[in-house]
């Protein structure tokens, strides 16, 4: 296994930058998820690491070698594709043996490695079948097996679970995580599903519009999103963002809404709000950090219930606050109805403040 | 890792539903048959009846004046006469060489053209259009043009050969029993390879990009990617293309008839030109019919494999 370093990697098609000066380091044995919406450049980044498309600029280093100008086969990587990309005319055995055959290994060694990989993935009984005779989950295992036999320095996975049904996806998710833990493999994993990234990865690289937005552990990304995009992309349901305005009242700072209510800020939050380039400040709050009251309490702001979604152990409510919709999680015992006026209390320690102009998270210093 | 999915393991080929009686099935689908009836009737008149009449004539000695009421029943005599004749052997060998060589090289050339046109390069659209020209040009016009190109006195090809020093005198392509068939086959390949090219180009579009990428990561070079990924994907369309080319080549008439008429000394005679000569040259309709019936049987055999190749594709798509 090896470390992977992307140095200022660029891929552009004319004026369109699919990958815009991305730099990041994947440590040896680390599981890194590249995550972002469709078209954010995550798959392009993975293909650049694999060498499947030529780079416009920058370097890729795997282990101690600069591989920027090497063919995919010389980079010592293995790749798992979204549609599994199994060779349909070959049996499972021959699919697993193919990368070894291409490397001209002796037959008995190929057999040994194929059998070993098949055993790890529990597909020994499928070796003589053709891919079309397998279920989606089984095909995915074979695809993993084909990556595994090679004993590569890096595993690249391109949305390997998105073709599976929901139940199987959850199961395969834990299997891939286990696979990573057992092998101490370096894995770069592309997904559009932030939940997959959060649950599986040691670190997640959130991308949007070709730019790397944030690269950190899932817990840190969740707790301290650097900008409004990351805040709204990571977490389910997403963080609610309410555009407001900061006003100074003597020594106090408050956020005001166009409707006229005011939310006084704690000293720490006040310092953040004053760092904004303009009075425009966006308040961000996760569903679990806000409280809902049926009558006004000090520091609460008015809202109106939009929808109520019971899920069993938690009830999600969407509440209109100023011009935005706020997600709130409630105990199922709380009884509210749509259109009911309610009051919202924010946790000053857990709220996020963003600059309304730059969309960046505001800091206290 | 634990044993997985909880899904039922694949149990081999799907079990075919029990086959109902043919008549019962027709009865169950009587409305469907009603809808195809008009087309079926037209087909019966314009195809089934001529086929039947040809088979009938093949058992008779027919008068050259077309007074078919005077025809004499001779049983299988026409067939025996054909099968025993020396000319039948020669013509059959010619037909076999003509069909196999034309099909093989047209397919190979078409595959090469399709593969080269599949990559992105400047002028690809123009190249594609140029390579399609042989397919759209009328066969009659093309045959006359090639006849002139091959001409022993005025032909461009012969003149070029002299100028390039390949030959000291113009080559007599079409009036030489050894060169005439290969020369005609070249024309036929030129005419047909675009068809193979179109078919294979369509086939190439269905090769999944991800598979080629997977093979690339697995360490396959360009030739190995073609052999392990692209070619297996083209199997179905290749089968169909080869069969269609074979049928077309068995049935070729225009190129040999216009360029040589089967000559010299029958050196470029193939089944169809032979049948035409016997029927409309020598007015021996009975013998020509017997000949046509033999050809018909060969064609139906090819047709059987063609339909089988086509429906096999359907099944695998459905499955």
> For chain B, which domains are there?
58-318 (1.10.3720.10)
Judge if A58 and A79 occupy the same domain.
yes
pLDDT recorded at residue B17: 52
pLDDT per residue as tens digits for the range A167-205: 888 888 888 888 888 888 899 999 998 888 888 999 999
Best interface-test mutation with A: which of B13, B206, B214 has the largest number of A CBs within 10 A? B214
DSSP 8-state code for residue A361:
B
Burial of B216 (0-12, 13-18, 19+ CB in 10 A): buried
State the total domains in chain A.
Answer: 2
Judge if A48 and A193 occupy the same domain.
yes
| Residue A146, min C-alpha distance to chain B (Å) | 9
Judge if A344 and A273 occupy the same domain.
yes
- Spatial contact of A213 and A226, defined as CB atoms under 8 Å apart: yes
Judge if A161 and A34 occupy the same domain.
yes
Report whether pLDDT(B177) > 90: no
The mean pLDDT of A1-6, rounded to a whole number, is 87
Report whether pLDDT(B282) > 80: yes
User: End of a domain among A231, A254, A282?
Assistant: A231
Mean pLDDT over each residue of chain B, to the nearest integer: 83
Alpha-carbon torsion (A275, A281, A287, A292), positive or negative: positive
| Residue A52, min C-alpha distance to chain B (Å) | 7
Identify whether A31 is part of a domain. Answer: yes
Report whether pLDDT(A271) > 60: yes
Return the minimum-mean-pLDDT range out of A84-88, B130-134, B315-319: B315-319
Task: State which residue of chain B sits closest to A96, comparing Cα positions.
Answer: B218
Identify whether A360 is part of a domain. Answer: no
Does B218 lie at the interface with A, CB-CB under 8 angstroms? yes
Does ipTM top 0.85?
no
Report whether pLDDT(A45) > 90: yes
Does A283 lie at the interface with B, CB-CB under 8 angstroms? no
Partners of residue A33 on adjacent β-strands: A189, A204
Identify whether A50 is part of a domain. Answer: yes
Judge if A67 and A9 occupy the same domain.
yes
Judge if A200 and A327 occupy the same domain.
no
**A245: containing domain:** 240-355
Closest by Cβ to A103, choosing from B208, B211, B219: B219
Report whether pLDDT(B30) > 70: yes
Mean pLDDT over each residue of chain A, to the nearest integer: 90
The rounded distance, in Å, linking the Cα atoms of A99 and A86 is 12
pLDDT recorded at residue A154: 92
Q: Which residue has the tokens 């063609």?
A: B306
Does B13 lie at the interface with A, CB-CB under 8 angstroms? no
DSSP 8-state code for residue A327:
E
Closest by Cβ to A83, choosing from B5, B210, B229: B210
Return the minimum-mean-pLDDT range out of A88-92, A202-206, B81-85, B212-216: B81-85
Does A135 lie at the interface with B, CB-CB under 8 angstroms? yes
CB pairs < 8 Å spanning A and B: 81
DSSP 8-state code for residue A230:
H
Closest by Cβ to B211, choosing from A87, A129, A150: A87
Does B163 lie at the interface with A, CB-CB under 8 angstroms? no
CATH number at A289 reads 2.40.50.140
The rounded distance, in Å, linking the Cα atoms of B141 and B194 is 17
Report whether pLDDT(A134) > 50: yes
* Intra-chain end-to-end CA distance of chain A, in Å: 41
pLDDT recorded at residue B11: 45
Does B315 lie at the interface with A, CB-CB under 8 angstroms? no
Strand ranges across the sheet with A315-321: A290-293, A341-346, A300-310, A315-321, A324-330
Identify whether A44 is part of a domain. Answer: yes
Alpha-carbon torsion (B103, B104, B109, B115), positive or negative: positive
- What's the token pair of residue B168? 């000291």
Identify whether A298 is part of a domain. Answer: yes
User: End of a domain among A212, A231, A250?
Assistant: A231
pLDDT recorded at residue A151: 84
Return the minimum-mean-pLDDT range out of A9-23, A28-42, A233-247, B302-316: B302-316
Report whether pLDDT(B2) > 70: no
Report whether pLDDT(B165) > 90: no
Report whether pLDDT(B170) > 80: no
Alpha-carbon torsion (A150, A152, A157, A158), positive or negative: negative
Identify whether A79 is part of a domain. Answer: yes
CATH number at A42 reads 3.40.50.300
pLDDT recorded at residue B313: 53
pLDDT recorded at residue B304: 86
Judge if A254 and A201 occupy the same domain.
no
Does B3 lie at the interface with A, CB-CB under 8 angstroms? yes
Interface contact flag, A52 B4, Cβ < 8 Å: no
Judge if A122 and A247 occupy the same domain.
no
Report whether pLDDT(B199) > 90: yes
* CA-to-CA dists, residue A290 to A204, A234, A309, A318, angstroms: 26, 18, 17, 12
Does A34 lie at the interface with B, CB-CB under 8 angstroms? no
Judge if A15 and A143 occupy the same domain.
yes
Report whether pLDDT(B318) > 50: no
> Cis omega before residue A181 (within 30°)?
no
pLDDT recorded at residue B19: 59
Interface contact flag, B216 A178, Cβ < 8 Å: no
């Amino acid at each position: 296994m090896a470390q992977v370093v992307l140095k200022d990697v660029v891929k552009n098609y004319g004026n369109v930058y699919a990958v815009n000066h991305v730099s990041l380091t994947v440590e040896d044995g680390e599981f890194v998820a590249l995550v972002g919406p469709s078209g954010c450049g995550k798959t392009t980044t993975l293909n650049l690491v694999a060498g499947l498309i030529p780079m416009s600029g920058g370097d890729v280093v795997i282990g101690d070698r600069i591989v920027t100008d090497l063919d995919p086969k010389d980079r010592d990587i293995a790749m798992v594709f979204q549609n599994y990309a199994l060779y349909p005319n070959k049996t499972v055995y021959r699919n697993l043996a193919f990368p070894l055959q291409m490397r001209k290994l002796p037959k008995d060694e190929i057999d040994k490695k194929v059998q070993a990989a098949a055993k790890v993935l529990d597909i020994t009984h499928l070796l003589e079948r053709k891919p079309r005779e397998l279920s989606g989950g089984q095909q995915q295992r074979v695809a993993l097996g084909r990556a595994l036999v090679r004993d590569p320095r890096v595993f690249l996975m391109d949305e390997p679970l998105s073709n599976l049904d929901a139940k199987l996806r959850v199961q395969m998710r834990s299997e891939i995580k286990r696979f990573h833990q057992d092998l101490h493999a370096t894995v770069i994993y592309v997904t559009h599903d932030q939940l997959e990234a959060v649950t599986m990865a040691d670190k997640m690289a959130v991308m949007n519009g070709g730019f790397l937005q944030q690269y950190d552990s899932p817990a840190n990304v969740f707790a301290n999103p650097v900008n409004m995009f990351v805040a709204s992309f990571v977490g389910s349901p997403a963080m609610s963002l309410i555009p407001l305005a900061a006003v100074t009242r003597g020594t106090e700072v408050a956020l005001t809404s166009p409707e006229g209510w005011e939310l006084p800020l704690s000293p720490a939050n006040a310092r953040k709000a004053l760092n904004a380039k303009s009075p425009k400040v966006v308040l961000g709050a996760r569903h679990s950090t806000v409280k809902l009251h049926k009558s006004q309490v000090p520091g609460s702001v008015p809202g109106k219930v939009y929808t109520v979604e019971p899920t069993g152990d938690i009830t999600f409510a969407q509440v209109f606050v100023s011009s935005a919709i706020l997600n709130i999680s409630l105990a199922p015992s709380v009884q509210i109805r749509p259109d009911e006026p309610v009051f919202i209390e924010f946790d000053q320690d857990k709220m996020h403040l963003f600059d309304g102009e730059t969309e960046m998270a505001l800091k206290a210093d | 890792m634990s044993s997985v999915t909880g899904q039922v393991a694949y149990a081999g080929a799907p079990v075919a539903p029990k086959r109902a009686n043919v008549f019962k099935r027709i009865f169950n689908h009587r409305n469907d048959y009603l809808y195809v009836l008009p087309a079926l009737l037209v087909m019966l008149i314009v195809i089934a009846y001529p086929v039947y009449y040809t088979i009938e004539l093949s058992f008779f000695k027919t008068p050259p004046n077309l007074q078919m009421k005077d025809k004499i029943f001779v049983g299988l005599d026409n067939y025996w006469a054909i099968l025993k004749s020396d000319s039948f052997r020669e013509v059959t060998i010619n037909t076999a060489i003509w069909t196999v060589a034309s099909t093989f090289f047209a397919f190979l050339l078409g595959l090469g053209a399709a593969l080269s046109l599949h990559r992105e390069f400047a002028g690809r659209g123009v190249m594609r259009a140029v390579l399609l020209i042989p397919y759209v040009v009328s066969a009659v016009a093309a045959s006359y043009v090639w006849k002139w190109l091959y001409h022993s006195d005025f032909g461009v090809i012969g003149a070029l050969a002299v100028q390039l020093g390949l030959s000291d005198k113009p080559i007599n392509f079409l009036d030489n029993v050894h060169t005439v068939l290969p020369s005609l086959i070249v024309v036929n390949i030129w005419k047909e390879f675009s068809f193979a090219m179109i078919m294979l180009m369509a086939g190439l579009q269905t090769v999944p990009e991800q598979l080629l990428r997977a093979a690339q990561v697995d360490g396959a070079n360009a030739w190995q990617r073609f052999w392990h990924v692209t070619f297996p994907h083209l199997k179905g369309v290749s089968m169909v293309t080869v069969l269609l080319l074979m049928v077309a080549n068995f049935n070729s008439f225009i190129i040999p008839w216009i360029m040589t008429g089967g000559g010299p000394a029958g050196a470029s005679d193939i089944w169809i030109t032979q049948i035409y000569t016997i029927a409309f040259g020598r007015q021996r309709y009975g013998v020509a019919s017997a000949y046509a019936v033999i050809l018909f049987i060969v064609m139906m055999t090819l047709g059987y494999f063609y339909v089988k190749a086509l429906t096999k594709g359907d099944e695998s798509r459905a499955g």
